[in-house]
Amino acid sequence: MTNLRDVTLESGIKVKPVYGPEDLAGMDVEQEISQPGEFPFTRGIHTNMYRERPFTMRQYAGFGTPRETNERFKFLIENGQNALNVAFDLPTQMGLDSNDPLAEGEVGRVGMAVDTLADMEVAFAGIPIEKISVSLTINAVAAPIMAMYFVLAEKRGIPLAQVRGTAQNDILKEYIGRGAWVFPVEPAVRLIGDTIEFCARNAPKYYPVSVCGYHIRESGANPVQEIAYGFAIARAYIRLGLERGLHVDDFAGRISFNFDIFGNFFEQIAKFRAARRLWAKIMRDEFGAQNPRTMKMKMIAGGGGGGLTIEQPENNIVRGAYYALLSALSGTQTMALCSYDEAYTIPTEKAALISLRTMQMLVEEMGIADTVDPLGGSYYIESLTNEMEKRIAAEMKRVDDDWDGIVTAVSNGIVQREVARQAFRYEQGLQNGTIAKVGVNRHRVKEEKRDVALHSYKTEQAEESIRRTAEVIANRDHEAVMTELEKIHQAAATTQNIMPVLMDAVRAYATLGEITQALKDVFGEFREPVML
């Protein structure tokens, strides 16, 4: 008798050797799978998907000064990229100006340094933001950075009602997954409510939030937790909009998702199919959405950084191609791929171009855009999709019933503890070999030469940022800035929507650090709870 190895996916699902019609017994195929573009959108949110419009290609980019980042943006656009995804350096993410002592050694290191509106103007010089969709990967200080982008558009003569783009603006996942927080949970969430309300009333084509299960997954969560915690966060943000008197159909369709794509190929595809179906049901049944557009889960499925390895880095080119394929087969709207050298450094132009060409090949050579949902109807895929939906829903119920909701669970450190535990279990699997990783615990090379060009940190970049900001400060109206910062104090201390006063401060060329400090004066700063 043949001894078959046991296969259990990261989500805890045991995989059978063969799947057949019996695995879908009792399933209402017409209701649960339906057709592409129709509720519950299991097969995709658009009727013709990529046959009509291929996924957007949006590589994550940004480093050093706004000038250098502008050059990389233009390089990517010239080579066929049709959207931008902006990386900000750590000081910017933390609301620090380049001359802040806490920013020393980090200015421009892993993203673009932005201190004032002047930096934003340089970063997007010569780039038609009325045509190129721009995603701002910023969270704790998303509100002032969004204000800068909106004022930039205003100065270009683009009406706010016509501004397109996305801000990540998902602070709850920062407490769970990355740690780039500034303010305590309650006022930080309030800021997100302000941006949602402001965009719904003034910038209806802009996506004010991209809920980022990606970072939760990269921090150790399994695929079920990635979707469950992401959806729990999105529900919390939607409630903010409802509390502001907005109708769900007036804003919730402009909340998107950023999910990860590394791991078991079929598990990831089933994850996204299940997520689309469950989200549609949540929007219709829990929030009473009536517009089908509101029920569609719009996502960027990309990155895959957690799957890349330092060992044998060229293997990451192959991994990236598989990640791109599963992202496309999952029905993503936007795709971004980590470049093969990102386990080491900021991608070189060559590495970034390989990732971009990988996505272009899928559409233009491999036929991936020829038909909608080519895996639909697979006994294995549909069975996995059903099981993933059940497990995601069960984990969301656990968040609500056992932890008193996601905001409370994050405030108390409960979700952080769960993700940390899962990360430990995953690392144990890598160490003992129960989780296979080629080049790491399988097929290792004893003496390996790694041909990767490192991006060296240049202190002159920080010096340029500090000098540029000093010039802005020297030439602005000091009294006007002080007046606008006092208005931020006043607005933060009330329930007034803070976005209009942030835009006024940006117009006066207040620095990001000054604006953040004004908010800190009222909100205070977050202190992480430690749970064992």
pLDDT at 202: 98
Backbone angles phi, psi at 387, to 5 degrees: -70, -40
pLDDT at 531: 61
CA–CA distance from 317 to each of 197, 302, 349, 363, 439 (Å)? 41, 14, 14, 17, 13
**How do the pLDDT tens digits run along the chain, 532 residues long?**
467 889 999 999 999 999 999 999 999 988 999 999 999 999 999 999 999 999 998 888 888 899 999 999 999 999 988 889 999 999 999 999 999 999 999 998 889 999 999 999 999 999 999 999 999 999 999 999 999 999 999 999 999 999 999 999 999 999 998 889 999 999 999 999 999 999 999 999 999 999 999 999 999 999 999 999 999 999 999 999 999 999 999 999 999 999 999 999 999 999 999 999 999 999 999 999 999 999 999 999 987 888 999 999 999 999 999 999 999 999 999 999 899 998 888 888 899 899 999 999 999 999 999 999 999 999 999 999 999 999 999 999 999 999 999 999 999 999 999 999 999 999 999 899 998 888 888 888 877 777 777 777 778 888 999 999 999 999 999 999 999 999 999 999 999 999 999 999 999 999 999 999 999 999 999 988 776 5
pLDDT at 61: 83
Nearest to 165 by CA among 121, 128, 206: 206
pLDDT at 152: 98
CA–CA distance from 393 to each of 230, 410, 476 (Å)? 12, 19, 53
Dist CA 249 CA 234 (whole Å): 15
Residues in the chain: 532
Contact status, residue 61 vs residue 52, Cβ threshold 8 Å: no
Dist CA 446 CA 3 (whole Å): 32
Contact status, residue 169 vs residue 210, Cβ threshold 8 Å: yes
pLDDT at 448: 73
Residue 72 host element (H or E): helix 66-78
Nearest to 302 by CA among 340, 276, 270, 328: 328
| Tokens coding 19 | 């799947």
- CA-CA-CA-CA dihedral for 504, 522, 92, 186, to nearest 10: -110
Dist CA 153 CA 506 (whole Å): 13
Dist CA 342 CA 64 (whole Å): 16
pLDDT at 457: 74
Domains of the chain: 21-432 (3.20.20.240)
pLDDT at 2: 64
Report angle CA 216, 183, 64 to the nearest 5 degrees: 70
Dist CA 206 CA 219 (whole Å): 28
Pairing of β 56-57 and β 334-335: parallel
CB atoms within 10 A of CB 443: 12
pLDDT at 481: 98
pTM: 0.95
Q: Which residues contact 66 (CB under 8 A, 6 or more apart)?
A: 112, 113, 114, 119, 120, 122, 123
pLDDT at 532: 57
Nearest to 190 by CA among 259, 237, 150: 237
HSE (CB half, 13 Å, CA atoms) of 408? 8
